[in-house]
Amino acid sequence: MRKQILSFLIILTFIVFSSQTGAEEQDNCSSFLVTKGASADGAVMITYTCDGEFHPRLRYTPAEDHKPGSFIEIKDWSGNIMGKVKQVPHTYAVVGLMNEHQLAIAETTFGGRPELVNREGLLHYFQLMRLTLQRAKTAREAVKVMAGLVDEYGYRSSGESFSLADPQEAWIMEMIGPGKGGKGAVWVALRIPDGYVCAHANMSRIGELPLKDPENCLYSKNVISLAVQKGYYNPKSTKPFNFRCAYDPPKPLPMRTCAARVWSMFRRCAPSKNFSPDFHRGVKTAEPYPLWIKPDKKLALKDMMAVMRDHYEGTEYDMTKGIDAGPFGMPVRYRDLEWDVDGVTYSWERPISTQQTGFSFISQSRSWLPDAIGGVYWYGVDDTYTTCWVPLYCCVRDLPAPYTRGDIRKFSWDSAWWVFNFVANYANLRYSDMIKDIQKVQQELEGYFISIQPVIEKAALELHQGDKALLVQFLTNYSVSQGERVVKRWIELGEHLLTKYNDGYVKDEKGRPRAKGYPEGYLRQVLKLKPEQFKLPPWGDKKKDGRLD
């Protein structure tokens, strides 16, 4: 029987990320999970920032039927076949990281113990996510599909935390390899209690396990035995088994750059709890942050956007304040995050919103709507603070072209990623002023999308009663047109910023260049460091024209 061969090529950057271990991979992504009972409208929502210096291309994979004996070739970037995965009779359509059944998956890499990476395993974490989205309808099913795939084909990456969401439930799953020559993977998955939110950001988050609660806790058979075998856990200890302590023991840099993001996500949605910063600042006696919390109020889509645009504003770690923010309050900190001066090691703060984000999404999975309408994949490229999330319905059969093309080696105005990078990078020259212009357009567009959403979906529901093909075409046309509209508007924004802020001048309402100089606070910092260098001599009298006698 003829075998249908499907090439499964993964973007080079993901291969690089998943093959690394150590500090460099441990500050790459952030994810936030909201259950039905914690959201304002009853949607299950998750977020994902995929951070790294790479050029993402949004992908659409259509649903397909496959002949018996079909398989997928897993290849490396050079095109070498690493192995094959058996194909299933039918695979589901996938837009980005959300499928046609409203199942969405996100991740962050926690790395964990480097000796547990198994290079003999076949599947990297990103391949595992893509395969699962094509094969599972629910979050619970996705856990089982992922477990089955690594059992059969092996797991190649280091430690990963996965967010999984469907219209009913949100789950967090953590996985790490068994070490060289080992089989499958070590993993555990917990269902987030309804009414609660969860977060992870490149550190393992799952602690003690409710081992006798299969409705809410699933795990591999070796989750404890491997830890005992490797000496990570003593079964004679009076302490219960703790996944994160066994497989990802805390280290100073991840606590500073990773735990801090969880703290900030939690402090934003539950300020009444007044979570202490002690744990992410490395205080040895401090308790880790809980895996999930109940927010002070139910969260809407706008709240999710705000959480993902965080620079620790309003805290003592506010990245828009102080000498490290420069004269114009720029929250960008260039790599490396960790640096040494005179034998002392330091680290910049690492926020949720960061300039090296490749792409991000916020998913909405809604149980009261048909899948085609209920699943929305809000997608953006580059820094979450300066991006604009575009609504893509999970039933679409086409994508906005600017999000599907481009090359990191060559600038192009027809690439959404390059357009958003142009605006964001130019804004760094005079951030505190230009960010206001960016946010005005950002709020205009996102506000429109949110306000028009009920109207679009009312029309879609009417179509759902009749012509399903017309429904899909309607939502596809809407999603594609809005994505193209955003990129066009962002090009106009970039041209406006380049014109308004030129050579250190700022044009006024009438288009006349005006000198604005530097903020007084920054000038005082300069004078504190160099009190005499810029001082004019005290002799003579100033005339009105500013010249001295």
Strand duo 71-75 + 5-8: pairing: parallel
Domain match, 345 and 406 both: no
What lies within 8 Å, CB to CB, of 453 at 6+ separation is 376, 391
Position 526 in a domain = no
Question: How many domains does the chain divide into?
Answer: 2
Give tens-digit pLDDT for 399-428.
999 999 999 999 999 999 999 999 999 999
Q: Identify the band that residue 547 occupies on the pLDDT scale cut at 50, 70 and 90.
A: low
Domain match, 11 and 140 both: yes
Domain edge (last residue) among 295, 327, 357:
357
pLDDT of 5 > 70? The answer is: no
Domain match, 228 and 300 both: yes
Domain match, 63 and 196 both: yes
Position 74 in a domain = yes
pLDDT of 480 > 60? The answer is: yes
Position 457 in a domain = yes
Position 351 in a domain = yes
Position 324 in a domain = yes
Determine the 3-state secondary structure of 471 from DSSP: helix
Give tens-digit pLDDT for 303-348.
999 999 999 999 999 999 999 999 999 999 998 889 999 999 999 9
Domain match, 319 and 411 both: no
pLDDT of amino acid 253: 83
Q: Taking Cα atoms as reference points, which of 23, 198, 29 lies closest to residue 111?
A: 23
pLDDT of 24 > 90? The answer is: no
Q: Taking Cα atoms as reference points, which of 356, 463, 338, 334 lies closest to residue 408?
A: 356
Domain match, 404 and 285 both: no
Position 536 in a domain = no
Domain edge (last residue) among 325, 357, 389:
357
Position 535 in a domain = no
Give tens-digit pLDDT for 68-90.
999 999 988 788 999 999 999 99
pLDDT of 284 > 90? The answer is: no
Domain match, 329 and 256 both: yes
Position 342 in a domain = yes
* 68-82, 133-147, 202-216, 529-543: segment of lowest average pLDDT: 529-543
- Structural domain of 390: 369-507
Q: Taking Cα atoms as reference points, which of 465, 487, 453 lies closest to residue 375?
A: 453
Domain edge (last residue) among 332, 357, 382:
357
Neighbours of 118 (CB within 10 A): 23
Domain match, 279 and 376 both: no
What lies within 8 Å, CB to CB, of 219 at 6+ separation is 187, 188, 189, 209, 211
Domain match, 396 and 350 both: no
Domain match, 283 and 201 both: yes
**The token pair that represents 319 in the structure block:** 């990245």
Domain match, 277 and 384 both: no
Domain match, 418 and 336 both: no
pLDDT of amino acid 26: 52
